[in-house]
A and B are shown apart, each in its own frame.
Chain A
Amino acid sequence: MNKLTFFIVLTISLLLMNGCASKNMQADNSGFFKDYEQLKSTQTMLDISKYTHIKITPLIINPMIIDSEQTKSQKELYNQIKTYLNKAYKDMITTSTKLTLVDTPSDNTLILESAVSSVEVHLDDKTWNQHAPIPMGLNVISFNAYMDEDVRLLGEMRLVDAKSGDVVSRMMYTSKDIAVTLSGDTLTLDDFKPSLNAWVKEISKGLNK
């Protein structure tokens, strides 16, 4: 085989391989957890009764919009969500009778790490990935889903033993009944508040078991 023939065969092979490659680039999840195989829906929290203290790390937002494409109002919204949820987490722990909030972890301390994102749900369609990520903001892909009330907040959380670094428990939650509803021309904190409150309530239930 001379060089020209080899080059032509190689080019055609590469083109064919490219042509056969999957066109579906859709991510299956937010990427907060390393492994989603065992975590298809809300997971009951394990026994955390031996822990007496908890440290809350800043909330992570996975908006599914790259930083350079986020608008000023979207960045502002994410900051508002962070502030709102971090305060709600602290209020939740303050009222807890089992755990005390700390800034510096010691023995028997849990570290709460959490993230939120938006997912598009079609609960009547069993073939649809009910955790399909969707931008937390309006773009051409997400606009209709928000208008149709097909968007839910996805909350993800893990509790880590501060001393060993082991993950003690992890949880993923979407409220079926509470949609993120677009009330104006842009998404605002008020559109997310019912879902954020449901998420905090769900964590609280787990921590106070």
Chain B
Amino acid sequence: MIKILAAFSLSVAFLYAGNIEVGTPLYKLNSYKYESPQGRNMRIPKKTKLVIVAYEKDTGKLVNEFLATKNKFYLQKNRSIFIADIHEMPSIITTMFALPKLQKYKHLIYLHYGEKFSQVTPSKSEQITLLHVINGKIDKVSFISTAKELQENIEK
């Protein structure tokens, strides 16, 4: 029994250590692979202040439609990046329909295709995750669901 408990504790500790949460250094996000819709490998910029993450089609659409109304360097000038986790999208749908559409956007999108990212980053159903970064570390995690909140947080 003690061995089982010890193994369980170690497993929990291991999972916890891998989580992206308050206090996690920003560079840890680079443990995951990102690509632009054009297929270029991307890294999280060192001076990022806000990481916007969308895990679902509708939240991703909300972010993209909002960014499409802005200058193409809007995110960069506000030290923000947008990660769209599309691992749940079937590969054939991604290639045939999603990528051609995403490639038309002028703003930059970090696409993530792996499963683990969504397991270690905080998320809520039908909400957009915001990772607020100060001095290279995640200082706060918040969740939003409107374009107005998105703009306020980007321009904060």
Contact = CB atoms under 8 A, between A and B. Distances in A.
Contact of B43 (A16, A19, A25, A128): A128
Interface residues of A, number: 26
A1 interface: no
A18 B76 contact: no
A19 B106 contact: no
B47 A19 contact: no
Interface string B35-59: 1101111110111000000000000
B96 A147 contact: no
B72 interface: yes
Interface string B15-31: 00000000000000010
Contacts of B108: 140-141
Contact of B99 (A16, A23, A143): A23
B40 A26 contact: yes
Interface in A116-156: 120, 122, 125, 128-129, 132, 138, 140-141, 143-145, 147-148, 150
A118 to B, nearest CB: 13
- Interface SS of chain B: loop
A26 B30 contact: no
B41 A140 contact: no
Interface in A93-108: none
Contacts of A128: 41, 43
15 contacts: A15-B96, A16-B92, A19-B90, A19-B91, A19-B95, A23-B35, A24-B35, A26-B39, A26-B41, A125-B43, A140-B108, A141-B38, A141-B42, A143-B76, A144-B45
Interface of B: 30, 35-36, 38-43, 45-47, 72-73, 76, 81, 90-92, 94-96, 99, 106-108, 113
Interface of A: 15-16, 18-26, 120, 122, 125, 128-129, 132, 138, 140-141, 143-145, 147-148, 150
